[in-house]
Amino acid sequence: MKHVLRSTLAVASAAAALLAGAVIAPAVSAHEPPKPGSSCAMSGMVEDNHGTLYVCASRKAGAMPTWSKGLPASRSPLTIADGWAKAADKGMSAGFGMIKNPTDKPIRVIGVTSPNSTFMQLHEVVMKDGSMVMQQKQGGFVIPAKGMTELKPGGNHLMFMKLTKPITAGAMIPITLITADGGQLKTTILGKVYSGANETYDGGMGDMNSMSGM
C-alpha cells in the first residue's frame, strides 16, 4: 500500500511539473557507465562499473582527457618487487618498484588506483626549460615480454595526485595497476621516508606544482 502511495505521489508530482512548464531531466542511473570517447574530469581517474573498467586519459600531450572503452576486469600476470611509496602527510606522493612481466607478450600499464589517493597518474621525469619536471607518461608503461620496467625517483613512477590519508613509514599501501586489456594487479607497497622525488609537476595546461605543494 505504501509503495502504491509513493508511486502515485511521484506521478502526480511529475504531472504538476509538466503543467507548470518545467523541464524534467531523464533519470540517470548512478551506475551508468561512462561513454567511451566522452570527456572526463581528470586524466588518471578510473571507474569500475560492475566489473568493467573505464580509464580517463589524454590521447596526446595537452589534449583534453576522455574515457576509454570498457575493459573487462581480469587478474593480471604482472608482479611488482621492492615496491615502496614516499611517506607524506598530504598533497602528492610517488610510488616506485620493479614491475615484472612473466609472459611472452609485452603488457602495457595504463592506470593505477589506491584508496590513499583521490586519483593517480602514471608519470615520467623529463628536462623542460632547464628544469627536471614530472608529467604524465603518454600511453603508460610498457612492460616487455619476459622482462621488467623499473619505477624509480627521477624516472617513471606512480603518482598519488591528492592523498586522502597519509602515507606513513612502515605502512603497507594498497595499489591496483590496470593494464590495456583490463588486467588488474592488486598489491601493496611499503611507505618509506625519502627526502628526494621533489620534482615540479607539469600538468600540460599551465598547471605547475611542486610534489609537496599540491
55: its cell numbers: 580509464
Sign of CA dihedral 106, 179, 158, 80: negative
Cα separation of 127 and 135, whole Å? 10
Which of 98-107, 158-167, 204-213 has the lowest average pLDDT?
A: 204-213
Task: Count CA atoms closer than 13 A to 19's CA, side-chain side.
Answer: 6
Q: Which domains does the chain have, with CATH numbers?
A: 75-210 (2.60.40.1890)
Yes or no: say if 176 and 183 are a contact pair by the CB < 8 Å rule: no
The pTM of this model reads 0.78
**What pLDDT was estimated at residue 45?**
94
Closest by Cα among 189, 187, 177 to 107: 177
Q: What is the residue-wise DSSP string for 41-91? A: SSTT-EEEETTEEEEEE-SSTTPPPEEPPPEE-EE---EEEEEEEE-BSSS
pLDDT in tens, 104-158: 999 999 999 999 999 999 999 888 888 888 889 999 999 999 999 999 999 999 9
Q: What percentage of the chain reaches a pLDDT higher than 70?
A: 77
| Residue recorded with cell 603518482 | 159
- Helices then strands, each counted (H, E), the chain: 1, 17
Q: Rounded to 10 degrees, what is the CA torsion of 54, 55, 61, 65?
A: 60
Which of 9-23, 25-39, 168-182 has the lowest average pLDDT?
A: 9-23
**24 pLDDT more than 60:** no
44: its cell numbers: 588518471
Cα separation of 17 and 112, whole Å? 44
**What pLDDT was estimated at residue 108?**
97
Cα separation of 153 and 89, whole Å? 19
Which of 86-90, 180-184, 194-198, 202-206 has the lowest average pLDDT?
A: 202-206
Cα separation of 151 and 204, whole Å? 21
Q: Are strands 66-67 and 120-128 parallel, antiparallel or unpaired?
A: unpaired
In the three-class reduction of DSSP (H, G, I as helix; E, B as strand; rest coil), residue 9 is classed as helix
**What pLDDT was estimated at residue 201?**
53
